[in-house]
Structures are given as C-alpha cells and as structure tokens.
Structure 1
C-alpha cells in the first residue's frame, strides 16, 4: 500500500554550539514554515490536500507509487479522471496539487514528459477547457430575491448578506470572513477583515484576499442606498441590532429555532443562501451561485454604463482584462452588429 499524506516542508537541520540558540532557531524555522503555508489561501491549501489524497488513493488502488510519481503514473491518473467525467478545470487543479506536493518534498515531477504532455493535450481537446459560468444576479434579480425574505432571524441575516454582497462585490470567502469590528478575531484563518460604520455608509477593511496573500489590504466603500428598503447599510445595521452582535463574525449560522451560533458562516453557505432566495423568487436556482453577487454587481454597473476603472477597483482586479470579461458579457446584445441588420 502507498498511503502518502501530503508532504510537510522538509525539516531544517540546525547545529549550533548552545542549546539556547538551537531552541530559538528551531522556533524560527517553525515560524518560517507557517509563513510558507500562508503563501496560499486557506481554500487553496484545503483543495490541494484533498486533491493529493485522491491521487494517493488512486495510486494505492493500482499498486503505483505516488511520491515520487512517474510521468506514466500521472498520465494514467489524468486519463482515469477524464474517463470518469471530471472537468478540465478539476484536472488542472489536481495536476497543480501533485506538482506542489513534489516541490515541497523536493522531488522532480516531469510534467513536460510526453506521457503527461500529450495525454493532457488530448484530454483538453476532447473535453474542452471552457468553464460554464454561473448567472450574475442582476439588480432586478436581487430585488426579486429580497421580496421573498421575511422578518425572521434568518431572513434578516440573508437580507443583509445579499445586499452587502451585491453592493460590495466581495468574494464569498471575503464576505463571510468579515467581523463586526476591527481586530476581533485575530488568528482566525477564515477571517478576512471587518466593517466600520461611518457618515458615508460602511467602510470595509480587507486585511487579505485571494489576490492579496501578502496582506497589503484594501478598503472598500459601501454608501447608503437610495431606497430604505434596499439600503445595504440599513440592512446590515438592522441585522446586527436584531442579532445583538457587537463582536466577532458578522454573518453566522442560524438554527431552525432562530438560535444564532457564535461561529461564522462558511463560503459555501453564501451559495446556498443565494440559491434558496433565487428559487423562492421563481428564478432558475441551479444557474446561480455565491459568485453571482459579485458578478452581478459588475454586470449591472456595466449595463448602466459604469466606469470600467471604478468596477475594477471595487472588485479588486489586478488586471483590466478580468474586469472587461464582465463588461463584454453585459454589452453582448447592445454592441452586437446583428441589431443593425434591420431584421
């Protein structure tokens, strides 16, 4: 059997003359390891570990060596995934996870070998690499979802989450990673920042995000809404007052009896809340996901001729090309030359 766990960073051998120096340097090496682990997001590390476990199990069941793996073994694994019905994006992520595991263990993995390169090229040619995007939740969709929510504890939480998520264009992990104030959950790997109420609305301070693993941070402004019933600032304030939250996670699980737990929602909970609200509003819930709030913000602003740079800044995109994907989708019909055919 070849049950290979995801390898840890290699231990650092330190030999000094004084025991005290060894202890201090050992502690420093452990801290360096922790910093190295933070180089990737929590979700990425979790996905990589699950991907490695899947690869190791495949090798176990076929009597193959997972670490170090031969190019032929990797080619067989990719083929098995493709034949099982996995998408190209999943194969790409698992290939990255296996490559990362070998790098950490200081083993060479030749992904340029024909047994890998040609198999991977053929798989992409057959199953394709295009992603099926989820539908953006446009402004009209958000209004329809809000109309289905009651005044229950869960209803008030969902209203605040939908409105703040739509207005801020945060990623779902960032949204549930917010606290009710600064410095309230230090050391929480799921924590991403906090909110502060101000004269202009809500200031969101992100201390880290998917594209900011170095922790430079950024501030996002969410102004007061024009209409009281759909104002994100008022909705968040109402949720905090109703729940009595002054410290800790902003968005929390709510039990069937209305009991509010102390832990924070997971990023998957955002998708469930969006889908549930979409279904209640008579929308096709399967086409929506947690990302629909973020993409819906960008698409709605673009449809209303919003400034490209303002959209890019709100979404925190490092490149304008990523932002332009939303803008192209928003203008696909308005800019189509087919409208000039006179049909």
Structure 2
C-alpha cells in the first residue's frame, strides 16, 4: 500500500498534485490534478500555496499542519478539516459556477472539482449558473 498524501510538483505556470488516495479512490490508483495561476491575486491558488510554504517552511513533512496561536505545528490536520476548508473556499471562489458561466465543458469541470456524481455538479452549480444567466431581471436595469 502506498503512503497517503499528495505529491506536489511545481511546473512553470502550474502545480501538479498527485493525489495518492482519497475517499473516491479507495484502491489508491492515484490521480493527477493540475492547478494553474489565477487571474487575481486574491484567488490565485499557487500564490496561496507559496505563501503557506513561506509560513510553514519547506522542510519535509505534512503539507497542511495545525496552527496554534498563529504558529505552525507539526501536528497534521485531519482530512475532514482539509475538506471543510477546501469546500468553503471553492464555494467562495465559485469555481464550478464560474466555469459553467464561462462555457467550460461539464466533463472538464467535473475532472477539476473531482465530482463523481454529475447530477450533484449539475444541480448545485450548473443549473443555478444557468438560471442567473437566463433571468429576465438582468435586462431590467434595476
């Protein structure tokens, strides 16, 4: 069995994340997810990773560790804590919705967000985006 965790590989203009195992990959087949620079500093995932590494340090060990009173510890945070933070940030950034509005294909959105159930992706993100795009109130100039 391979060790749990994520391998991070910096590339020009991107970061490749090799996710060795996850709840949707119980057989540890692994998956590579590419992350590119954002267009805005406040939502640039690579800039955020760089900032964390400056704070955390670059020595080997777990990437995401606990913070206690603003100080980095070596205690790992739980997978659930990571999931909560990522979901909250993804909703705040509106990646799936923004991608749908921009016309990105559903399979590409699902590959990036790692949604296995397309129905969830469509119901929670795509249809609301379509409703916002097609509403007549947009044309009223209110």
Superposed pair shares fold, TM > 0.5: yes
Residue-by-residue CA offset, 1:128-162 (whole Å, 9 max, x unaligned): xxxxxxxxxxxxxxxxxxxxxxxxxxxxxxxxxxx
Contact 1:240-1:246 within 8 A present in 2 as well: no
**Higher relative contact order (CA closer than 8 Å, sequence separation 6+):** 1
Kindly report the root-mean-square deviation, in angstroms, between the aligned alpha carbons of the 2 structures: 2.9
Match of 1:253 among 66, 82, 86: 66
CA distance in structure 2 between the partners assigned to 1:269 and 1:210 by the alignment: 13
Q: What is the aligned length?
A: 135
Residue-by-residue CA offset, 1:145-199 (whole Å, 9 max, x unaligned): xxxxxxxxxxxxxxxxxxxxxxxxxxxxxxxxxxxxxx8xx3xxxx432222111
TM-score normalised according to structure 1 size: 0.35
Residue 265 of structure 1: how far off its partner (Å): 1.8
Q: Residue 321 of structure 1: SS of its match in structure 2?
A: helix
Match of 2:77 among 240, 265, 277: 265
Which of 1 and 2 has greater Rg?
1
The yes-or-no answer on 1:316 pairing with 2:114 is yes
Residue 234 of structure 1: how far off its partner (Å): 2.2
* Structure with higher strand content: 2
* Structure with higher helix content: 1
CA distance in structure 2 between the partners assigned to 1:224 and 1:262 by the alignment: 28
CA distance in structure 2 between the partners assigned to 1:332 and 1:260 by the alignment: 43
Residue 322 of structure 1: how far off its partner (Å): 3.0
Moved over 4 A (4+): none
Contact 1:253-1:260 within 8 A present in 2 as well: yes
CA distance in structure 1 between the partners assigned to 2:61 and 2:106 by the alignment: 35
TM-score normalised according to structure 2 size: 0.75
